[in-house]
């Protein structure tokens, strides 16, 4: 009875991890014509190139780091604030929760396309239209390298805050009320109650939201692919200003068909996420031990 799941799981979830590890040490384009395009081992060549020679990869890594730090921290803060603001069970709050949650269930391509128009660089973009109404000349939103990551962070917070909010709300609701009652008897003010009751008890939720949103943030693709196109045959926008790890994986693997090299990128991505998850778990564990 376990067989259907386990077979599929091994074939499409476990095997690919190891297969891509093997590929990451190879030059591989799947055609493998012995004469014209041989495939074979390059030992650590792919990784060497990634870490020491490939400027585009370094750019992708840097952009992704900025993005993950910005998106994850702001999403957590925003969703916590929303959860607190909307925790009372009133009719208007219930509606607002739905509104804030909507982006999580809306087609990501659709939302990216709308944002693309909001940030259009010429006069007809929504934001530039608003600026024009205020007499400010249009801003080249999607062609200004310094703005690329912040725009993607904004989109991510917009899209992800509602999801985190629900988790935090559930966390807050599961805190027994008598903690607060006891604190109120002791004369704790709302800020203290938040600081010493709500926040510590939300730690597990915080860890969960943290890990899932870090993993999610590392996988950003649609926004980069659709908002920052380049001329034929590449992704990442002007000067790779929005290039990130998964788009670069796509670029190398499925635009240039360098499957071995792209597998090396995939494994670097895996390594980073694995280490961060471990650190996150360790940290939250050690916090618990301290208490």
**Footprint of other proteins on residues 181-200 (CB under 8 A)?**
184, 190, 193-194
Distance CA 290, CA 288 (A): 5
- In whole angstroms, the minimum distance from the beta carbon of 259 to other proteins comes to 5
Closest separation in Å from C-beta 22 to other proteins:
9
Shortest distance (Å) from residue 177 CB to other proteins: 7
Tokens 């050690």, located at residue: 286
Contacting residue, 47, 51, 66, 270, with other proteins by CB under 8 A? 270
Choosing from 44, 48, 77, 140, the residue that interacts with other proteins (CB under 8 A) is: 140
**Distance in Å from the first CA to the final CA of the chain:** 43
* Interacting positions 23-82 with other proteins (CB under 8 A): 23, 29-31, 33, 35-37, 56
Contact status, residue 31 vs residue 37, Cβ threshold 8 Å: yes
Give yes or no for residue 102 binding other proteins (CB under 8 A): yes
Chosen residue from 166, 201, 203, 284 binding other proteins by CB under 8 A = 166
d(CA 100, CA 192): 27
Q: Which of 208, 250, 206, 221 is nearest to 64 (CA)?
A: 221
The correct pick among 76, 80, 244, 269 for binding other proteins (CB under 8 A) is 269
CA atoms within 13 A on the CB side of 169: 21
Smallest gap from residue 286 Cβ to other proteins (A): 19
Q: How far is the CB of 99 from other proteins (least distance, A)?
A: 6
Structure tokens at 260: 């071995």
Q: Residue 63: name the closest of 244, 232, 215 by CA.
A: 244
Which of 60, 63, 70 lies closest to 154 in space, CA to CA? 70
Using CB under 8 A as the binding rule, the residues of this chain from 198 to 257 that contact other proteins are: 204-205, 208-209, 215, 218-219, 221-222, 225-226, 228-235, 237-240, 246, 249-250, 253-257
Distance CA 42, CA 263 (A): 13
Interface region with other proteins, contact rule CB under 8 A, candidates 40-48, 67-75, 262-270, 283-291: 262-270
């Amino acid at each position: 009875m376990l067989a259907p799941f386990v077979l599929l799981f091994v074939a499409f979830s476990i095997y690919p991890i190891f297969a891509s590890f093997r590929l990451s040490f190879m030059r591989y384009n799947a055609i493998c014509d012995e004469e014209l395009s041989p495939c074979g081992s390059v030992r650590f060549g792919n990784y060497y190139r990634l870490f020491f020679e490939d400027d585009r990869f370094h750019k992708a890594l840097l952009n992704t780091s900025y993005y993950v730090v910005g998106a994850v921290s702001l999403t957590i803060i925003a969703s916590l604030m929303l959860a607190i603001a909307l925790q009372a069970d009133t009719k208007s709050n219930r509606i607002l929760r739905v509104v804030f949650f909507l982006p999580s269930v809306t087609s990501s391509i659709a939302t990216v396309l709308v944002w693309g128009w909001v940030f259009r660089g010429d006069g007809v973009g929504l934001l530039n239209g608003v600026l024009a109404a205020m007499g400010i000349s249009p801003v080249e939103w999607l062609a200004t390298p310094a703005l690329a990551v912040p725009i993607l962070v904004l989109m991510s917070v917009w899209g992800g805050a509602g999801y985190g909010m629900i988790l935090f709300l559930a966390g807050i609701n599961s805190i027994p009320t008598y903690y607060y009652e006891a604190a109120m008897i002791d004369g704790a003010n709302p800020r203290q109650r938040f600081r010493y009751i709500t926040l510590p008890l939300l730690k597990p939720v915080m860890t969960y939201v943290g890990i899932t949103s870090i993993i999610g943030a590392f996988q950003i693709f649609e926004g980069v692919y659709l908002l920052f196109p380049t001329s034929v045959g590449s992704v990442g926008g002007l000067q790779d200003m929005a290039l990130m790890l998964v788009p670069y994986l796509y670029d190398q693997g499925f635009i240039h068909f360098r499957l071995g090299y792209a597998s090396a990128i995939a494994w670097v991505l895996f390594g980073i996420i694995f280490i961060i998850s471990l650190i996150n778990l360790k940290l939250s564990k050690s916090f618990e031990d301290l208490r």
